[in-house]
Structure 1
Amino acid sequence: MTEPTDRTDATRTDDVKHMKWWGWGVEGVGFRHEDKPGFAPFVQKAIGLDLWAGERTERPDFSRLRVPASTASEEFVAVLSGIVGAGNTVVDDLSRVVHTYGKSLRDLVRIRAGEIARSPDVIVYPADEAEVQSIIDASVEADAVIIPFGGGSNIAGSLEPHMDESRVVVSLDLGRLNRVLEIDPDSGLARVQAGALGPDLEAQLNRDGWTMGHFPDSFTHSTLGGWVATRSSGMQSDKYGDIADIVKGLRVVRAGGVLVIRAVPSASTGPSVREMVVGSEGRLGVITEVTVQVHRLPEKRAIHAYFFKNLDHGLAAMQKIAESDVSPSVTRISDAHETAFSLATSKESKGIQKKAQTGLMAYLKRRGWSLDEMCLSFIGFEGDEAHVKRQKSLVDRIVRKHHGIGVGKGPGALYDQKKFDTPYIRDFLLDRGAAGDVSETAGPWSKLRGIHAAVYEAADRAYEKIGHAGWAMSHMSHSYHSGACLYFTFAFVFGDDPLGEYDIVKRAIQQAFIDAGGTISHHHGVGLEHAPWLEEDISTEGVAIMSGLFGAADPGGNFNPRKIVV
């Protein structure tokens, strides 16, 4: 066993990182379009929004918020302070607002409008598992509600207290539990505290030559515990697997004791309790430690870009890659709408680069391609030099058979640079009175094209119903032998009823997933947002089994109640 160097004492509460209360990321960082000449015309055409008119909404002012008063008694706060220390128990309004919602569009619209029906009453920052146990025991004894909090990036409504909750609500922030504890180099297993944010986790692993390889869109602002609790997927899941594949062991604090899942390669020990915890969104207890599969840092990593004539050719190529002996780290293809969006968000090309781009488009036209139908793909390779070369050679062969063309590593480098920036565009649109949100699904290869068409049709009907021009776009990612994930982005300008209009569009897309043979969520979780479709997804008996599990494991309903199933 090896223990990573540079170990320090437990993080102080003041050092725990949180996103800004009203939007994504940190203050001072945001999306700009002035250096992207194609973006404003694109948005004008897609949803009728004039970006040059400037912001339409005022920047949120915290002083205008009406935050419900904390219902936690002085005696209960004193009990919690006795466990974690007075400085690690907070009841101020800003801390409670930060811990009220996640970062879904619904969350951000409400927070910007000052709609806070119910906030956590007290925030606690434990330093270790023993303190988590004491907090939980004290909270259950007081019949309080416990909601685990990691990075706060959830977009499925998994964090907010129910508006009718009359009990004291405790937000248990794991931010101080942020260390890699131990690495077993023989097995490639690392014990990691659940509150570690993505960048901090990878930095600690990288120092010793390891990587977990898990990079969701929210990577910068989400935690290991949150990934496990919501069944997360990362951009490189084709190689490293989804979080359910990466998690090998768990420690979960419950009332009166700790659930321990030992890290073994495989086991025949009845229904998998590990699988019950993965995706449980805090309903079975608080995850404090995760043993994960880690890998040696690859010698070489490259993201190559390809263009396909249309989505049919591109999906067929992705399917063949999944069925082949190739093992890329990333297989992603954008449909024509998302390809147009990607090109519109690029900075202006100059000199040789501009000539090359113009020449490529002219070449594709001569080949009979419609530039309105072409699709951009990114495929990633990792390993030693020989492995990467062979993998790319095999992929290039498949791409050519499906009428695709490689365009090198330049666009791939830009993809790598921008991959965590997309959520900032949502705030940018909200500042201008427009919605931009996402929904994702997964389905068999045989149904992907049908799902794609069904979602577009449903979105168009919804836009017609709300009376606003709207936009939808999609990419395929996270390939499996039997199918893949389809990730949709949709946007429109708000009218007089932002959340009512949003609900119409969101419901239409979610229902289209089910009707066309997909699932309600591939990696964002269920929470409150997707719960209405759960029974259609896993059947009435499936919901009954899940309800029975939660009811038996938490008879008092103290652990994040009403999430996933009521």
Structure 2
Amino acid sequence: MAAMKWWGWGLDGVEFTHEDKPELGPFIKQQLGLDLARATEAPPTFAELELAEPSLPAELRAALEGAVSAEQVSVDPLDRVVHARGKSIRDLIRQRRGDLPRLPDVVVRPADEDEVTAVLTAALAADAVVIPFGGGSSISGSLEPPADETRPVISLDLGRLDRVLEIDTVSRLARVQAGVFGPRLEEQLNARGYTCGHFPDSFTHSTLGGWIATRSSGMQSDRYGDIADVTRGLRVVTPTGMLITQPVPSASNGPSVREMVLGSEGRLGVITEATIQVRRLPEERRIIGYLFPTFAAGLAAMRDIADSECQVSVTRVSDAPETQFSFATRKAQSTGDKLQWKALTTYLRRRLGFQLDQMCLSFIGYEGSESHVAEQRKAVGKIVKRHGGLTVGSGPGALYDQKKFDTPYIRDFLLDRGVPADVSETAMPWSRLSTVYDAVNAAGHGAFAKLGVQGYLMCHLSHSYHGGACLYFTFAFRPTPGADMLAQYDVVKSAIQQAFVDNGASLSHHHAVGTEHAPWLEQDISAPGVALVQALFAGADPGRNLNPGKIV
């Protein structure tokens, strides 16, 4: 898998464009006062960057080359920059500024678990820092070396560990190397008639080990579970030896070591292999679009679906601002499409009493046999109708399916025009959903007002559980001319995060802690909880050689 751009998301040559979306320019002009036609900023060329020379003692380099071969030990400047950070908005802004105070000194690419062990042994002997690297898609600050780190820093790129090793067809379990990227994993499983079913937004550019290390969730987690549910067994190279958890369905053997590794962000060891649950490829897969008169009605419908006997793969509903943004990103419509849309909106207004500026778009996914999908669609349709919603068919769902992995490219497009955009997501019980939603909107818009900037804040429910759900917020604003973009960003981001923990919600649902969310950890899990986490890390890695500074 090719590395992502050093200054942005995704691959070189792939980018977001507004030119085929005629409604987007006027929409952004109205909401942010921004003219999309003209890019005002651009990242520097790589040649313009001022990079510190690597600090790699000859003895350590020789040991690393002995572990993996000289060809797999890289001090190439571009390699070091690509592995220096993830893809948070803070990372991207600083990369574009050429702000690169601490790079990895070397990138090492092991081929298997034995080579990972040899690299870690060499690093510990030299008192070096090891930062495991999957796809580099982290948006929580989980990859950057501490700015004041004086020891050699090794970025351990696991991309060569990319194979499905075995499938237990009786138990529906697959042994998989942790460095496999999402598309490569599905390709190998699909060839045997199986799927993992884990599809995060970062799917194209993230790995199984990265999903596990950050407790990822995917778009179809309503059916398949999040990565904590998918992951049954683990193999982890640690400073004291190989950590192994067996892929049993359940166990009563004290505090769960598997759970300790999940979300540990490389601080307990290097995940080399996981045994994951897989399922047969479904006979049919459909994502259907729905419209609700209000966000409250959509949330109530999702809650009732979660409380019913319905078995769906996706439950997603956008609030009115996100719905309006989604409609603005449509490609140019044909005359027939325009007439159909006009007829639909007329029907919604006159017959169903919709206020179009409050209307909310929803997607619900179904998988299984043809009869199962038909049965589930019928049952969900009754719930949707009970909450004033309307089925609009598979067209919008197909469009959502096509666009779902493209969203991160929009951040680069907006940064080229001087506008930061970011996301914050959280989870809470159903009974607190409206409270959290209202509080975050008040906090976000309050931050815009405090800064005196035009901003936009939108939200969708992205995952449903029996007892609660995830709310996923996206915000963008046009900074004050001459102001520090990052400083103003921090005002907005902090206001939203604080609203989460002040209202009984988690600091994150699936984007991990890293350094970005660490300031809110104690408020989320309490001071004794933080002490437990600190004791765990100190006991497993007393020399702080494994990705220090993350989480706590």
Asked whether 1:458 is paired with 2:439, we answer no
Q: Distance in 2 between matches of 1:373 and 1:454?
A: 19
Counterpart of 2:395 in structure 1 is 410
**For 1:108 and 1:201, how far apart are their aligned partners in 2?**
28
Residue 356 (structure 1) shift: 1.1
Match of 1:253 in 2: 237
Task: Please state how far the C-alpha of 1:256 moved relative to its aligned partner.
Answer: 4.1
Name the counterpart of 1:185: 169
Shift of 1:489: 0.3
Which has the larger displacement, 442-451 or 148-157?
442-451
Q: Which amino acid aligns with 1:421?
A: D
- Deviation, structure 1 residue 516: 1.5
Query: For the residues of structure 1 that align with 2:98 and 2:67, how far apart are their CA atoms?
Result: 33
Q: How does the TM-score come out when normalised to structure 1?
A: 0.96
Structure 1 Cα separation of the partners of residues 349 and 308 of structure 2:
31
Whether the aligned pair in 1 keeps the contact of 2:73 and 2:107 (CA below 8 Å) is yes
The residue identity in structure 1 corresponding to 2:374 is K
Q: Is 1:564 matched up with 2:548?
A: no
- The superposition leaves residues 22-63 of structure 1 with CA deviations (integer Å, 9 ceiling, x where unpaired) of 1000011011111111101111111111112x1101343101
Instruction: Give 3-state SS (helix, strand or coil) of 2:457's partner.
Output: strand
Aligned to 2:286: 302
- Given the alignment of the two structures, is residue 510 of structure 1 paired with residue 497 of structure 2, yes or no? yes
**Residue ranges of structure 2 left out of the alignment (5+ in a row):** none
| Contact persistence 2:43–2:97 (CA under 8 A) | no
Q: CA deviation at 1:207?
A: 0.6
Question: C-alpha distance in 2, partners of 1:23/1:243?
Answer: 26
SS of residue in 2 equivalent to 1:176: coil
TM-score, normalised via structure 2 length: 0.99
Q: Specify the alignment match of 2:513 in structure 1.
A: 526
C-alpha offsets along residues 206-235 of structure 1, whole Å, 9 cap, x if unaligned? 011000000000000000000000000000
Amino acid corresponding to residue 339 of structure 1 in structure 2: T
What residue in structure 1 maps to residue 97 of structure 2? Answer: 113
Query: C-alpha separation between the residues in 2 aligned to 1:519 and 1:60?
Result: 37
Q: Does 1:142 align with 2:137?
A: no
Q: Distance in 2 between matches of 1:460 and 1:527?
A: 26
How far, CA to CA, are the matches of 1:291 and 1:95 in structure 2?
30
The equivalences for 1:364-383 within 5 A come to 364-366=348-350, 367-383=352-368
Q: Residues of 1 paired with 2:310 and 2:218: CA distance?
A: 19
Match in the other structure for 2:116: 132
- The counterpart of 1:226, out of the listed 200, 207, 210, is 210
Q: Does structure 1 retain, via aligned residues, the 8 Å contact 2:7–2:43?
A: no
| 1:432-486 C-alpha deviation (Å, 9 max, x unpaired) | 1001110100001111111111111111111112221100000001100010000
Q: Which residue of 1 aligns with 2:460?
A: 475
More displaced stretch, 66-75 vs 415-424: 66-75
| 2: CA distance, partners of 1:58 / 1:393 | 50
- Aligned CA RMSD, in angstroms, stands at 0.8
C-alpha distance in structure 2 between counterparts of 1:463 and 1:312, whole Å: 24
SS at match of 1:378: strand
**Structure 1 CA distance, aligned partners of 2:62 and 2:29?**
55
* Correspondence for 1:5: none
CA distance, structure 2, for counterparts of residue 388 and residue 111 of structure 1? 46
Partner of 1:9: none
CA distance in 1, matches of 2:187, 2:338: 36
Distance 1:438 1:58 in 2: 22
Out of 294, 316, 321, the residue aligned to residue 305 of structure 2 is 321
Equivalent-residue separation in structure 1 for 2:125 and 2:450 (angstroms):
50
Say which SS state the counterpart of residue 312 (structure 1) adopts.
helix
Amino acid at match of 2:64: L
Q: Percent identity?
A: 61
Q: Aligned partners of 1:116 and 1:175: how far apart in 2?
A: 24
Following superposition, the deviation at residue 74 of structure 1 comes to 2.2
Aligned residues: 549
Equivalent residues of 2:109, 2:158 under 8 A apart: yes
1:545 and 2:545 are equivalent in the alignment: no
- Please name the residue that 1:29 is paired with: 14
**CA distance in 2: counterparts of 1:67 and 1:466, whole angstroms:** 34
> Any idea what the Cα deviations from partners look like across 1:335-369, whole Å, max 9, x if unmatched?
00000000000112213222111110111111321
Partner of 1:436: 421
Quote the residue 1:71 is aligned against: 55
1:535 aligns with 2:487: no
| CA distance in structure 1 between the partners assigned to 2:32 and 2:538 by the alignment | 45
Instruction: Map 1:15-54; keep pairs closer than 5 Å.
Output: 16-52=1-37, 54=38
* Separation (CA, whole Å) in 2 of partners of 1:95 and 1:75: 21
1:51 alignment partner, SS class: coil
Structure 1 letter corresponding to 2:128: A
Q: Name the SS of the counterpart of 1:306 in structure 2.
A: strand
How many angstroms apart in 2 are the aligned matches of 1:546 and 1:17? 35
Contact 1:133 1:256 in 2 (8 A): no
Deviation at 1:539, TM superposition (A): 0.4
- What is the CA–CA distance in structure 2 between the aligned matches of 1:66 and 1:502, rounded to whole Å? 25
Q: Distance in 1 between matches of 2:45 and 2:423?
A: 26
Superposition deviation, residue 120 in structure 1:
0.5
Describe the superposition over 1:70-102 as per-residue Cα deviations: whole angstroms up to 9, x where unpaired: 111122112101111111000111100000000
Deviation of residue 494 (structure 1)? 2.6
Partner of 1:104: 88
Structure 1: how far apart are the matches of 2:161 and 2:235? 13
List gaps (5 residues or longer) in structure 1.
1-15
Name 1:4's counterpart in structure 2.
none
Matching residue of 2:347: 363
Residue 540 of structure 1 aligns with an amino acid whose one-letter code is A
Contact kept? 2:216, 2:226, Cα under 8 Å:
yes
Matched, 1:389 2:374: yes
Offset of 1:189 from its aligned partner?
Answer: 0.3
Match of 2:79 among 95, 110, 117: 95
- Hey, what does 2:145 align to over in structure 1? 161
Determine whether 1:286 maps to 2:270: yes
Determine the C-alpha separation between the residues in 2 that align with 1:256 and 1:318.
46
Distance in 1 between residues matched to 2:375 and 2:154, nearest whole Å: 53
- Report the counterpart of residue 405 of structure 2 in structure 1: 420
Name 2:257's counterpart in structure 1. Answer: 273
Is the contact made by 1:103 and 1:153 (CA closer than 8 Å) also made in structure 2?
Answer: yes
1:58 aligned onto 2:45: no
Letter in 1 for 2:55: T
